[in-house]
Amino acid sequence: MSFIAKRLDLFDSSDFRDAIKKQSALNDPVDLSIGIPEELTPEHIKAAGIRAIKEDKTKYTPSNGIPELRQALAYKLVTENSVPCTPESVTIVPGLTTGQLLVYLAVLDPGDEVIVFDPYYPPYPHLASMVGARVVYVSTLPTFQPDLAALEAAMTDKTKLIVINTPNNPSGAVYSRQTLEAIAKLAARTNTLLISDEIYEHFVYDGSHFSVGSIYPNTITMNGFSKEHAMTGWRIGYVAGPQEIINAINELQQYVVMSSSSIAQHAAVAALKQKPTELVSKYKAKRDLVVSRLQQLGFKVDGAQGAYYAFVKAPHGLTDVEFVDKATQYGLIVVAGRAFSQLHGFIRISYGADIDVLRRGLDIIEQITKDLSSS
């Protein structure tokens, strides 16, 4: 008999085991699979982290984070996002993924329903199931934009929470202000909480980013430093929202994380003082390259207005797993869409990688489609 708890059955990775084994055996693969930006953590952020260590700022911090970071974040949320926030109504978490779990633990009872737009960032449904909530998927196909009628139809008197992620991983969709206003109106009418994961807020190439927390007070706004500041390994993010919910998260933090890394928090203060420049133009050039090459090869590309992903149907009637397997044979790593969706026909291509790697990856996809056409 296994000692492992049944909740681990929820993380069924059997579909991917074989692919991961084959991919990890590749010598010098072209990797378009990961959600990591190509940049390295900027020098001024690293210097602030090193300074924190040298100045012995290495102890536990308050569970909700150091005051100067919370002050800077409250200022950012109010001035840049128009999200009402005070230093008390924002809490620092060791990355949004942990933040997501803390929010769920704070607000979900077993049996509560959580609406997740499909495709989705994998932790949204899996962590919700883990805390005993029921996940209700609302498809955003074919445009990757939420359909209000479908959303309304999916809601019941048990719906507690709707998870929003714009710009979106994996589709790259950016939701318009109008769409978010309509969701907020529905949420207000049904007394439903919103989670808004805005970690890609600065990776927008068409349209503009809008924070739904600016118009709907029962919004839990989540953001972090991983992507914009190239700090994925520092594990630092934040959650802002209704005071009652932030208080509950802070109570949980005392038992679950104690505090986020003191060093990462001091580095994050420096990150907020000096924003990266030219990020959008650099990533827009990569987005344009990916979209135009894929379209030339016959792929239909929806979404891709933001973040750094394209989510496209596997060609020639292959399933996602079959395409990923074929790509691996050519030395290319992409992710099977079923990791992000209840549907099984898509692949996710990340353009977080630098443009030369991206070009090599697109050349391989071209070769695969040519070979499939002639076989």
Interacting residues toward ligand PLP by CB under 6 A: 35, 95-97, 121, 165, 169, 197, 199, 224, 226, 232, 237
Asked if 32 and 361 touch (Cβ cutoff 8 Å), the reply is: yes
Return the DSSP state at 338. G
Please tell me whether residue 197 adopts helix, strand or coil conformation.
strand
Asked if 168 and 144 touch (Cβ cutoff 8 Å), the reply is: yes
Comparing CB distances to ligand PLP, the nearer of 140 and 169 is 169
* CB closest to ligand PLP, residue no: 95
Comparing CB distances to ligand PLP, the nearer of 174 and 199 is 199
Comparing CB distances to ligand PLP, the nearer of 241 and 315 is 241
- Name the helix (H) or strand (E) containing 354: none
| 282 Cα distance to chain centroid | 20
Measure the CA–CA gap between 231 and 264, rounded to whole angstroms: 9
**Tokens standing for 242?**
């209704």
Return the DSSP state at 11. S
- Geometric angle at alpha carbon 86, from 183 and 201, rounded to 5°: 45
Compute the least distance from the CB of residue 260 to ligand PLP, in Å. Answer: 11
Compute the least distance from the CB of residue 296 to ligand PLP, in Å. Answer: 27
Compute the least distance from the CB of residue 182 to ligand PLP, in Å. Answer: 21
DSSP string across 133-166: PEEEEEE-TTTTSPPHHHHHHH--TTEEEEEEES
CA distances from 149 to 145, 191, 346 (A): 12, 17, 24
Compute the least distance from the CB of residue 93 to ligand PLP, in Å. Answer: 8
Compute the least distance from the CB of residue 94 to ligand PLP, in Å. Answer: 8
- Name the helix (H) or strand (E) containing 49: helix 43-54
Compute the least distance from the CB of residue 46 to ligand PLP, in Å. Answer: 17
CB atoms within 10 A of CB 249: 22
Comparing CB distances to ligand PLP, the nearer of 310 and 368 is 310
Comparing CB distances to ligand PLP, the nearer of 225 and 323 is 225
Compute the least distance from the CB of residue 227 to ligand PLP, in Å. Answer: 7
Please confirm whether the linkage preceding 122 is cis (ω < 30° from 0).
Answer: no
Comparing CB distances to ligand PLP, the nearer of 61 and 226 is 226
- The residue behind tokens 């990266």 is 276
Comparing CB distances to ligand PLP, the nearer of 96 and 135 is 96
Compute the least distance from the CB of residue 86 to ligand PLP, in Å. Answer: 22
Phi then psi for 237, rounded to 5 degrees?
A: -155, -175
Comparing CB distances to ligand PLP, the nearer of 35 and 125 is 35
Measure the CA–CA gap between 368 and 330, rounded to whole angstroms: 8
Comparing CB distances to ligand PLP, the nearer of 232 and 259 is 232
Compute the least distance from the CB of residue 183 to ligand PLP, in Å. Answer: 17
CA distances from 235 to 95, 180, 229, 264, 296 (A): 5, 28, 12, 7, 38
Spatial CB neighbours of 145, under 8 Å, sequence gap ≥ 6: 173, 175, 179
